[in-house]
Amino acid sequence: MTRRTMAVAFGLGLGLLTLGAAGACRGGGSAAPDGALTVAMMPKNKGNPYFVSCRQGAEEAAQQLGVKLLWDGPTETDPAKQNDVVEAWITRGVQAIAVSVENREAMSTVLRKARGKGIKVVTWDADADPDARDAFVNQATPAGIADVLLGHAARLSGPAGGEIGIITGSLTAANQNTWIAEMRKLLPTKYPTLTIVDIRPSDDDRKKAFDETQTLLRVHPKVKVIMAIASPAVPGAAEAVKQSGRKDVGVTGLGLPNASKPYLLDGVLDSAVLWNTKDLGYLTVQVATALAKGTPIVGTTQFPGGRLGQLEVRGDNVILGTPFTFTKANVGGFDF
């Protein structure tokens, strides 16, 4: 996906902000004709702005396709709650379930149960075991995300390289652990001057990210780059570096533009990497609906993604696009 295309998509998504908010007031579901196909969709954390933005795109797709969207999940990171919600959806007999997986092993078990009942299962944002779902809506390839983040870290640390400290979501987060694994593969070959010295959890909480970053800076005084790879962790980490007065430490990560904007503008945060979150929610409902209607994913090379056009399919992964970098120069053009 080109930057221009992505910017247009972001702009289209902004007009849906009011629509998404209205959907939130209807008790967690989108309006649809009686007897319509039901897609049940779960974020890791309903209160995280990242997932609030994803929901707006999901509501858009549900309205376009005429399906009923159920949106539910934990109000804070809680793998057990995710399992409970999926169990309830199985009992209800929905046609499709789409989950952003917090704990891969635990969630895979209940998703296999759903598939055994004939329910189509999609994972999005963070994957389960491949045999536990029919397709994964992949926001970007893990290798691509890792490479973009390490590229920013290498630039910030300079030719001599240095130490990187990572603030993640949780230590069990499937997607973030996959990105870190890809980074470790790239370090010895493409970024040999960089070293990951610490990984600390934020539990998707800005205050905890602030506290963990302060601790990391004390424990590793030679650290050159703080990389926050959960959206609430980016402003938390940036604020901690700002208050520390450590102008020799660069900050980058995966974050939302509005939360990142103040720190990008004052120079504490160098860059924030993400994808179009509204498009991620939109594509997830498109894929789940197609599967529920009997349209295959495996064995194809392209998926017709509604307003997103034809998207690449790799095996059982539908690929949204390439990570986009927000900077001081361009962040003013985005509002979510």
3-state secondary structure of 222: coil
Please check whether residues 13 and 124 belong to one and the same domain: yes
Q: Which CATH number covers residue 146?
A: 3.40.50.2300
For residues 37 and 153, state if they share a domain.
no
Which one-letter amino acid corresponds to residue 268? V
Which pLDDT belongs to residue 155?
Answer: 98
Same domain, 148 and 268: yes
Q: Does residue 270 sit within a domain?
A: yes
Residue 185 lies in a domain: yes
- Torsion-angle region of 190 (φ positive above 0: left; ψ -120 to 50: alpha; else: beta): alpha
The predicted-structure confidence for 244-256, as pLDDT tens digits, reads as follows 999 999 999 999 9
Phi, psi (5° rounding) for residue 148? Answer: -65, -45
Whether 134 and 238 share a structural domain: no
Assess whether pLDDT exceeds 50 at residue 23.
Answer: no
Residues 62 and 122 both lie in one domain: yes
Q: Strands 135-138 and 120-124: what pairing? A: parallel
- Domain of 193, in residue numbers: 142-274
User: At 70, which amino acid appears?
Assistant: L
Tell whether 87 is covered by a domain.
Answer: yes
Which of 332, 143, 149 lies closest to 250 in space, CA to CA? 149
Judged by average pLDDT, the poorest of 85-89, 91-95, 209-213, 321-325 is: 321-325
In terms of domains, do 124 and 13 share one? yes
Q: What is the pLDDT of residues 161-217, one digit of tens each?
A: 999 999 999 999 888 999 999 999 999 999 999 999 999 999 999 999 999 999 999
Beta bridge partners of 103: 173
Asked if residue 213 belongs to a domain, the reply is yes
Tell me, yes or no, whether 265 and 298 share the same domain: no
**pLDDT recorded at residue 221:** 97
> pLDDT at position 335, please?
83
174 in the same domain as 104: no
Transcribe 165-209 into DSSP letters.
EEEES-TTBHHHHHHHHHHHHHHHHH-TTEEEEEEEE-TT-HHHH
Based on the fold, state whether residues 266 and 280 are members of the same structural domain.
no
DSSP letter at 129 equals -
Mean pLDDT value across residues 7-34: 41
Residues 150 and 209 in one domain: yes
Pick from 32-36, 209-213, 286-290: least confident: 32-36
Q: Residue 298: what pLDDT? A: 95
Question: What are the angstrom distances between the C-alpha of 84 and each of 66, 102, 108, 134?
Answer: 27, 13, 13, 20
Spatial contact of 295 and 96, defined as CB atoms under 8 Å apart: no
- For the chain, first and last CA: distance in Å? 19
Q: What local confidence, expressed as pLDDT, does residue 32 receive?
A: 58
* pLDDT the model gives residue 334: 87
Mean of the per-residue pLDDT values for the chain? 90
Q: Is residue 336 situated within a structural domain?
A: no
27, pLDDT greater than 60 = no
Q: How far apart are CA 236 and CA 291, in angstroms?
A: 39
Residues 133, 8 share a domain = yes
Collapsed DSSP state (helix, strand, coil) of residue 155: helix
Q: How confident is the model at residue 18 (pLDDT cuts 50, 70, 90)?
A: very low
Condensed to tens digits (0 to 9), the pLDDT of residues 111-164 reads 999 999 999 999 999 999 999 999 999 999 899 999 999 999 999 999 999 999
Claim to verify: residue 215 and residue 136 sit in the same structural domain: no
Contact 123, 133 (CB under 8 A): yes
Q: What is the pLDDT of residue 9?
A: 41
Least confident of 10-19, 91-100, 277-286: 10-19
Domain count, the chain: 2
